[in-house]
Structure 1
């Protein structure tokens, strides 16, 4: 449910509810490793026992059907236990980013309106500061404790507005995840048990896992891909997930070698960080058979470097509202695209207000059983993101006759300069082919002459002047697609899903330009 919980009796869990997964796995192989968290192994039997006990405790404390349980933590086994406990009790997990400021965290807590907040010790200061901003009114007071054995698994604070536990139905909410906010204020995406089950079924058909797989999770658990791109599928089939609490390239490479990791996922910056690390060539990465990349296009140079180690990269495309899996490359014929839709995913194009099938260029539309129920308590935003049964992605794409999808750019990010339309992502990928460029972002800024002009922010491994960068782009891009300015920076601000924060770059540029006048 998008807004508030239903109030019927306990019942029997729906067939697609995720609380069944650990029960089934623990019955088959209780001693098999489910999670490795900083060297500590959690078996399927232990995961089921802890999740069941916590589900009971949540219900007893009034955090039952539809109750929202917020967290501020890195990727931990404790949060995995909590997810499955919520799945059993009918509660909703709301994982919040530990990277947020106190003000940002307070804003998301205000939207989520959780009945309980669980905080990892390292992040208690920012959580406390956020709670102070909410004030002391009874309506905003949130019971708070720690995760894990020292916190909620020992004693759960009572809910201020108790709700009884009940077995969830397939369409009951399981996850509430905040969007990255690249084009607007963050919104709370509600995903049901059925959404997550279908997303993982689709994933299993395109890039399957087996009980013998070892998955390295490097994407954070406050991101949809931290659950629905490999980790949840791994726990469904009985594989093991090695958690990287917060991403560190050197440590991730060591974990791959130590645990003989067979599958992993990340955003383009994740894989570039691995490649650029001094240990990349020295570590044995031969066990990795598949790596899924999303959140943007991985540049061909990086893909080639990974391929030389034997890692087959599968370029994906998705968005939180689609839970997130929409498309994935299957083989070399899909190079330069994000592949074709997953099974159980339908796509179409919105062209001049018309929904069109087949080849063409337009805004990508998505529908299917994994598509979200809506934004929490925000019917206007939900309506704006919908077109009948279709989810509007906001992404401009080109689709060929074989169904392959090439991302042109965000509809709102297209730069219109001198009567021409320019896709920033195309320029970024071209810049990343230069050996000195290790990261890049491109955006349009206001221009009296051109309407908008292109500016590129680049992170360099070695010096490269404007002339060298223009020379590199010659023959790769038409002249009108060349940035008018190159700005060398130490880093590109990005969302947790790896997308460049173009609005922040433009705002900083405009502020500096105004100050210089």
Structure 2
């Protein structure tokens, strides 16, 4: 896909247009153990545009930010797409975030409205809160008119952790969804008759794009498993043709040993962290299907991938997607400022700022490129951790735990506890070892579950270089040496 994004443009109008060619076809199924909630494309379109009408009636200024505190219910895509439809800028966030975490994010975001389901932590911010019940009442309103405009104007915002330890607001343009068309052939092998099941939460960009917007934009069906429901059983019962998840979910399904026959499954998709070759091989043996991997980031979705028509060589992730403007510079991936999927920038006081080196946004991902163009991922330039597919800054975790009772000094990194399995570990100094349960409880009040350390280790001192800088690499090496000698 190399054609430029059309103008004027609206992300929601683009996402819903293909499905209206088959209005009675099922667009979304939310799968539960005993039943499924089904939405046709016609019903989805009406509810999205009705929600847009309700949100527009609130009188928010054009481009106002709407903080979403919603889980895996149909309310999430209705709020997200309804807001974008009328020129508002939705901001999905994880429902796992604590009050202090979401308050810190809202401070820089300054939302005009918060949409929240019951029981989810709310920010300490003066913005009014719209409940899920109030949102639900908007579905039957008359359809809104689309706010059509420049493809480069802000469309939505997602948060990612930066190397400085503070979550950063990434501003994406409406055109970002048009750029995702490169993945249809370059990664998914996506067809209109597909039924795409994604294992993640709606607020995550991987699920939001791969699990919802991309299937709908081509007129395919999105399947989502409700929390606690048996995923492998429902994958089979509801004829999933493409399954998308992080490597950890593949490992969990394999470990459970209940996959059984999946006759309709064509292949799997993996992103978020490096897929272990052992997991790929075990999945192929259990299901007879391949997993196609992709590399990307919140700032630009995915741009390197394998696909059914172009599998990756052993050890490699895949190839640059056609239409992308990506370069390997001194072994590090860089994205040209004109790549249609690249963010507008990180949100600052004066709007989005895009940090560039010349005309290039440098990702920090180290790779090797073979003569045939195949890309092998070598790791990050920085010390960012990966927890179940979520990138987590060690500085953020360290700050949250620094004033835990009894701790003198603390350092956080991820460590390998067995082949291809990594966890977040906290190493601390104190007069004596502290109670793990107390540390866990302290962390739970300040960090989302996926950011909390799974291991605490007392040390006499933390490794530092001659300049006093903490060495997380030395910590990981020390942990491995201790583990090997255990």
TM-score above 0.5:
yes
Corresponding residue SS for 2:190:
coil
Corresponding residue SS for 1:334:
coil
Conserved in 1, the CA contact under 8 Å of 2:312 and 2:374?
A: no
Q: Name the counterpart of 2:178.
A: 197
Deviations 1:28-61 (A, max 9, x none): 2211111112411011111111111111111111
Shift of residue 284, structure 1, vs aligned partner = 2.6
Q: 1:77 aligns with which of 70, 74, 80?
A: 74
Q: 2:335 aligns with which of 366, 373, 386?
A: 366
Given the superposition, is the C-alpha separation of residues 399 and 380 from structure 1 closer, same or farther in structure 2, using an over 3 Å criterion? Answer: farther
Q: Name the counterpart of 2:404.
A: none
Given the superposition, is the C-alpha separation of residues 116 and 455 from structure 1 closer, same or farther in structure 2, using an over 3 Å criterion? Answer: closer
Conserved in 1, the CA contact under 8 Å of 2:211 and 2:223?
A: no
Shift of residue 118, structure 1, vs aligned partner = 1.1
Matches within 5 A, 1:108-187: 108-123=105-120, 126-127=121-122, 131=123, 134=124, 140-147=125-132, 150-154=133-137, 166-181=147-162, 184-187=165-168
Q: 2:296 aligns with which of 315, 318, 325?
A: 318
Paired with 1:409 and 1:458, the residues of 2 have a C-alpha distance of 18
Q: 1:341 aligns with which of 320, 323, 330?
A: 320
TM-score, normalising length: structure 1? 0.69
Paired with 2:414 and 2:96, the residues of 1 have a C-alpha distance of 27
Q: 2:224 aligns with which of 230, 243, 251?
A: 243
Given the superposition, is the C-alpha separation of residues 217 and 65 from structure 1 closer, same or farther in structure 2, using an over 3 Å criterion? Answer: farther
Paired with 2:416 and 2:28, the residues of 1 have a C-alpha distance of 39
Paired with 2:243 and 2:9, the residues of 1 have a C-alpha distance of 25
Given the superposition, is the C-alpha separation of residues 93 and 381 from structure 1 closer, same or farther in structure 2, using an over 3 Å criterion? Answer: closer
Given the superposition, is the C-alpha separation of residues 412 and 274 from structure 1 closer, same or farther in structure 2, using an over 3 Å criterion? Answer: same
Conserved in 1, the CA contact under 8 Å of 2:344 and 2:352?
A: no
Paired with 2:282 and 2:100, the residues of 1 have a C-alpha distance of 40
Q: 2:356 aligns with which of 371, 377, 386?
A: 386
Given the superposition, is the C-alpha separation of residues 459 and 23 from structure 1 closer, same or farther in structure 2, using an over 3 Å criterion? Answer: closer
Corresponding residue SS for 1:151:
helix
Moved more, 387-396 or 93-102: 387-396
Q: 1:406 aligns with which of 362, 373, 376?
A: 376
Given the superposition, is the C-alpha separation of residues 243 and 458 from structure 1 closer, same or farther in structure 2, using an over 3 Å criterion? Answer: same
Paired with 1:406 and 1:274, the residues of 2 have a C-alpha distance of 26
Unaligned runs of 5+ in 2: 1-5, 140-144, 395-410, 421-439, 444-449, 463-486
TM-score, normalising length: structure 2? 0.73
Paired with 1:455 and 1:85, the residues of 2 have a C-alpha distance of 39
What's the RMSD between the two structures over aligned residues? Answer: 3.5
Given the superposition, is the C-alpha separation of residues 180 and 335 from structure 1 closer, same or farther in structure 2, using an over 3 Å criterion? Answer: farther
Shift of residue 311, structure 1, vs aligned partner = 2.1
Matches within 5 A, 1:149-298: 150-154=133-137, 166-181=147-162, 184-246=165-227, 251-280=230-259, 283-298=260-275
Conserved in 2, the CA contact under 8 Å of 1:22 and 1:48?
A: no
Matches within 5 A, 1:81-100: 81-100=78-97
Deviations 1:346-379 (A, max 9, x none): 222332xxxxxxxxxx221123110100011267
Q: Would you say 1:60 and 2:78 are equivalent positions?
A: no
Deviations 1:130-173 (A, max 9, x none): x3xx2xxxxx41111223xx2224269xxxxxxx9943431222
Shift of residue 221, structure 1, vs aligned partner = 1.9
Paired with 2:382 and 2:417, the residues of 1 have a C-alpha distance of 22
Paired with 2:350 and 2:109, the residues of 1 have a C-alpha distance of 15
Corresponding residue SS for 1:387:
coil
Conserved in 2, the CA contact under 8 Å of 1:200 and 1:232?
A: no
Deviations 1:182-235 (A, max 9, x none): 663110111111012112344344433222111112122222111222421110
Q: Name the counterpart of 1:397.
A: 367
Shift of residue 270, structure 1, vs aligned partner = 1.6
Given the superposition, is the C-alpha separation of residues 459 and 105 from structure 1 closer, same or farther in structure 2, using an over 3 Å criterion? Answer: farther
Deviations 1:9-42 (A, max 9, x none): xxxx945422223653454221111111241101
Given the superposition, is the C-alpha separation of residues 271 and 47 from structure 1 closer, same or farther in structure 2, using an over 3 Å criterion? Answer: same
Paired with 2:221 and 2:104, the residues of 1 have a C-alpha distance of 35
Deviations 1:262-296 (A, max 9, x none): 1121111121111112423xx33232112111122
Q: Name the counterpart of 1:487.
A: none
Q: Would you say 1:34 and 2:27 are equivalent positions?
A: yes
Q: 2:46 aligns with which of 42, 45, 49?
A: 49
Q: Name the counterpart of 1:301.
A: 278
Moved more, 185-194 or 398-407: 398-407
Given the superposition, is the C-alpha separation of residues 97 and 23 from structure 1 closer, same or farther in structure 2, using an over 3 Å criterion? Answer: closer
Conserved in 1, the CA contact under 8 Å of 2:48 and 2:78?
A: yes
Unaligned runs of 5+ in 1: 1-12, 135-139, 157-163, 352-361, 415-423, 429-440, 444-451, 462-490, 494-499
Corresponding residue SS for 2:180:
helix
Corresponding residue SS for 1:110:
helix
Conserved in 2, the CA contact under 8 Å of 1:64 and 1:166?
A: no
Paired with 1:272 and 1:504, the residues of 2 have a C-alpha distance of 20
Shift of residue 318, structure 1, vs aligned partner = 0.3
Given the superposition, is the C-alpha separation of residues 107 and 267 from structure 1 closer, same or farther in structure 2, using an over 3 Å criterion? Answer: same
Conserved in 2, the CA contact under 8 Å of 1:89 and 1:168?
A: no
